[in-house]
Structure 1
Amino acid sequence: METLAIGIYGIGALLALLAFGVPVAIVLATVGAAGLWFVGGQPLLLTTFRTLPFGVVSDYQFVVLPMFIFMGTLAARTGLVSELYNAAYRWMSRLRGSLYMTTTLASAGFAAISGSTVVNAVVFTRMALPEMLRHGYDPKLSSGCIAAAGTFAALIPPSIIMVVYAVMTGESVGQLLIAGVVPGLLTAGAYVLAIPVLVRLMPDAAPTTLERFSFSERLVSLKPIWAVILLSGVVLGGIYGGLLFPSSAATVGAAGVLLIGLARLRIGWADLRDSLEETASLTGMIFFIIIGGLIFSRFLVNSGVTGEFNDFLTSSGMTKAAFLAVIVVVYLILGCLIDSLSIMIVTMPIVYPLLKPLAIDPIWFGVLIVKLIELSTITPPVGLNLFAVLTAAEGKVSTRQIYIGVLPFVLIELIVLAVLIAFPEISLWLPAQMSGK
């Protein structure tokens, strides 16, 4: 009981420090290290610090993280986004609210070569928001749409948050990435179907004057996006067909974006340097958080907290449905207070061991968790994508406007989440067909 009490005090200290705004990586590593010393003394602490950090950063499969980040940062500088946006607009222009649909479809397309929700949100804020405002679209719904559509990168591979889940749980990176394809496309489809309803319910949300393009003009707009189709096809097709490991697929994708950018004379030395610096910075931050999370996880295991939770769940008779309901409520509450990556790192060491007693498929659960993480990036007051849009908008929209504008999309996300919970096959069918499963 003494070590269990230490574990509970450690969780309390973690939450208190996070509430005071201490960076999550520092909190996880510090509390985890102190807990290991209290539970197992100096030998356990030193053994953990000698082996765990090196074991994480030297694992070859984790090269997928910097490669996917590099792929996204390069793609944002090649002009591929503007080509996607132009093609989507020409095909959607005859419908009222077409720029909302355009942003949704282009963001889904860019998600297939990005992997970062923040990158998606920033890129489309700078490109789409001025166009929306110039055409008389509502600033609230415009900014909300951009922030929400940016979350597609959390599910549609290559997804950085999916890789982090795999790192934390030891599940297959490839199966998790493929599992996000259909739910991600389903979410984008739900947005496109809901937008005509929104503009009908909110008459001032979009102008009634529509721009029209001929069929030949629409066909021509598809020509430049071959690069996005090729890249996503190579990356996803390689993983799905068992031809490429996720790490090699990420490397091939990053090299492909670089070659396309160089061939089109759209990437210079300054762009390459900035992309490398951004990749190094983001990768270092993510690995610092992962290492801190694994240290804290080892502390929870050695203190007995994880085992006690497992035993309590088994003896309490909690059903699978009740467990999922608790997870949804807890994640939605945490999403209003803590950033998305921190939520996963803090909760996964406690939650993941509970899946086996309830016979919950960890791949399906990973999709649900990422969907909840998606929601956390757009739920006020602490939503990473909301802040990204506000920063990139440079005063064009206010905090209040984006908080109001994102609410309809939060509702859509909740409906999609309910569908994914009710029908696990949506997430599991595609991974089950993978070669070499």
Structure 2
Amino acid sequence: MFKFVKYLAVLPLLALSSWAAAEYTAEDVRNSFYPYENWTPEFPGYTPGMVIDQNNVDQFQDILDPALYDHIKKGETALQTKVTESLELHPNYIKATMEAVGSPPVLSADGLVENFIAGRAFPAEPDPNDPRAGLKMAWNYQYGYNWGDNAAISPFYWKFRNAKTGKLERTIKWSFHFLNWKHRVNQDPVPEFEDNPAELFRSVYVLAREPFDIANTQLLIHRYKNDLKRDDAWLYLGFQRRVRRLATGQTTDSFLGTDIMIEDFEGYNNRVSDYDWEYIGAKNGFLPFHNHDELELATDMPPEPDGYQFVDVDGCFPKTTWELRKVYELHGTPKDPNHPLSRRVMYIDAQTYTIPRQAEFDRKGDLWKSFSICQAYPDRHLPKNKGSGVAIDNCFMMYDVQAQHCTTGQFKGQLDPTMNPPQMFTVQNLRKSGR
């Protein structure tokens, strides 16, 4: 794990917060959302803009997660670094968090969040001595502003590669759609849809567009406000022309032959209650953040009508930049003894509560997969994303280090509510769209 870094001179007021009591102050909220207001992460010998490769990686091992360090040490990739910037979430999300000062959300005995409307549920600095700190952080992710109130990734290209040779084996073109039914802060209706008898929290709809053999394959996921209630998920297979309900275990299978399972979507796509959570500590670490308009963009992708170009990839590794940022290390252990993972090690960006880096371990406890999700600054992305206050997922890599195989993703993320009407997230829509 990273070498822990203390922030004594930077954010002294954070230590005054008490997560055990779930109380927080206005100062806690400001520190949570603006960690770089009066401070920039540093490390001896590091200068933003430098390249970290196998020749100098040992010097920076303490600020690299172990899997990323190994990739660089083996010469599989190098990090092009950049200046750390502040990615400020939407003011309404911050406002909703601030409005709960004095009457904060609380954790029930069974681990559910109560007295919560919207925003970041537990914005005070996490306390490693609080036995429920990890659980609170998992809830901060679950109720995070990832993709805002709703969004689409369309198109979304996944590519399968042999990691040893770099040979491209297959490409899938998707459309992904997300909708929050509750805890909304920016798009009407706020804070929730009134017509929601099932008490849904969030829905995800996925449509495969290419290649021909899986075209029209669709996936629908319903996650409920009651986190103790199991998700419902349905799959429409285009070649079978029928809808079937997914069994619980199928969300941890390889999804259509990729290195990804449904549970991996967005970094973690499951109930909070399906894992035990342990907070390890705060540190400085490298995470993949970039300005889209500053990157080397792909020239081998199908053209988009608006001229948009996707992030390029070099074999298994997206051509993103990396920032030295404040990171929380969170460990998740599945409660299901039949789960294919023994542990997730998440490197959460402290400002956005996204999961840009993650390591997954098999049942024996050995490293299985190395997972990156690149974050793009919204004001340097598509015009429709400017001012959205969303950390835009813009590329990903899932690298199976045991099989030496990888799946990469290239996004066109769009914060556009017209692309995600509520009727899209229904079983009836699966049947209708599949005809």
TM-score by length of 2: 0.28
Query: Which structure carries more relative contact order (alpha carbon 8 Å, separation 6+)?
Result: 1
TM-score (norm 1): 0.27
Structure richer in helix, relative to its length: 1
